[in-house]
């Protein structure tokens, strides 16, 4: 199963045909210096009800073992290479999942509860006052630049925070008025957002009109979904600067006075 959501957590069965890689060590081993048990790691594929079927059977001598597993939450092989318990540099766009099962006896059952370890950013756009027929054409956002810290530690699944963002904004995935992107964890930096819409604003039709914003700097932590809501509103005409000028003086030349 895997956990989903940010403020509330729920679980769902690991999707059929999804692949994962399973690592096994003697119980309590320090992964930075230990070697996996013979025959591990092994790739496994999910069958019905979240059962993981390894490509080859795993036979272990009597004892207790700790198992770790990673997945991209899809049917592709994770292809994550761990050296001394640390992965190669990771990249944006992958839904990295991680799980562990400890103190499992030989011949027993290892149950994995996968957790999201990347970051999900969702941008929602709604029509405000004076706007109708809103259709979002594209949403672009900054994305982290993977660095030497953008690696996963197998012992806890934590991915280090990137410390820089790319030089250009990139389109988010999805369609409709809500788009999302999976990115690497990121240290406290602002993110630029560009929103392109077709709409009727104040009775006038606009095409591919661009709106820009900057999300204030904050930490983007792994396993968290961040939702940002924008409202596109028509700009109402505002009457300002009203004032009363003083009377203008004007002298009227009087007509002659005639005595009656």
| Tens digit of each residue's pLDDT (9 = 90 or more) over 54-107 | 999 888 899 999 999 999 999 999 999 999 999 999 999 999 999 999 999 988
Q: What are phi and psi of 49, to 5 degrees?
A: 60, 30
Q: What are phi and psi of 219, to 5 degrees?
A: -80, 135
Contact 116, 55 (CB under 8 A): no
Q: Which pTM was predicted? A: 0.85
Confidence band, pLDDT 50/70/90 cuts, at residue 241: low
| Tens digit of each residue's pLDDT (9 = 90 or more) over 173-224 | 999 999 999 999 999 998 899 999 999 998 899 999 988 888 888 889 998 8
Average pLDDT for the chain: 86
10 Å CB burial of residue 151 (0-12, 13-18, 19+) is: buried
Task: Select from 116, 134, 150, 137 the least CA-distant residue to 222.
Answer: 116
Contact 154, 85 (CB under 8 A): yes
d(CA 88, CA 81): 6
| Structure tokens belonging to residue 140 | 């672009």
Q: Which residues of 26-53 are buried (b: 16+ CB within 10 A; e: fewer)?
A: eeebebeeeebbeebbbbbbbeeebebe
| Tens digit of each residue's pLDDT (9 = 90 or more) over 121-180 | 988 888 888 899 999 999 999 999 999 999 999 999 999 999 999 999 999 999 999 999
Residue 234 vs residues 126, 201, 205, 237: alpha-carbon distances, Å: 12, 6, 12, 9
């Amino acid at each position: 199963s895997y956990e989903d959501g940010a403020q509330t957590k729920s679980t769902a069965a690991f999707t059929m045909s999804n692949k994962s890689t399973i690592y096994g060590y003697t119980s309590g081993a320090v992964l930075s210096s230990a070697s996996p048990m013979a025959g591990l790691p092994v790739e496994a594929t999910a069958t019905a009800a979240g059962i993981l079927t390894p490509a080859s059977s795993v036979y272990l001598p009597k004892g207790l073992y700790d198992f770790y597993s990673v997945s991209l939450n899809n049917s592709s092989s994770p292809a994550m290479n761990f050296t001394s318990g640390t992965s190669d540099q990771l990249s944006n766009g992958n839904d990295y999942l991680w799980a562990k099962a400890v103190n499992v006896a030989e011949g027993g059952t290892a149950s994995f509860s996968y957790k999201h370890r990347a970051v999900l950013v969702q941008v929602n756009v709604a029509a405000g006052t004076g706007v109708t027929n809103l259709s979002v054409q594209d949403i672009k956002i900054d994305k982290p630049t993977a660095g030497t810290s953008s690696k996963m530690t197998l012992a806890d699944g934590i991915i280090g925070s990137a410390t820089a963002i790319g030089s250009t904004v990139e389109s988010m995935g999805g369609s409709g008025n809500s788009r999302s992107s999976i990115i690497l964890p990121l240290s406290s930096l602002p993110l630029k957002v560009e929103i392109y819409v077709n709409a009727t604003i104040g009775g006038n039709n606009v095409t591919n009109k661009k709106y820009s914003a900057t999300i204030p700097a904050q930490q983007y932590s792994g396993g968290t979904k961040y939702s940002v809501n924008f409202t596109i509103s028509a700009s109402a005409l505002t009457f300002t600067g009203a004032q009363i000028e003083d009377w203008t003086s004007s002298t009227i030349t009087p007509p002659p006075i005639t005595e009656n």
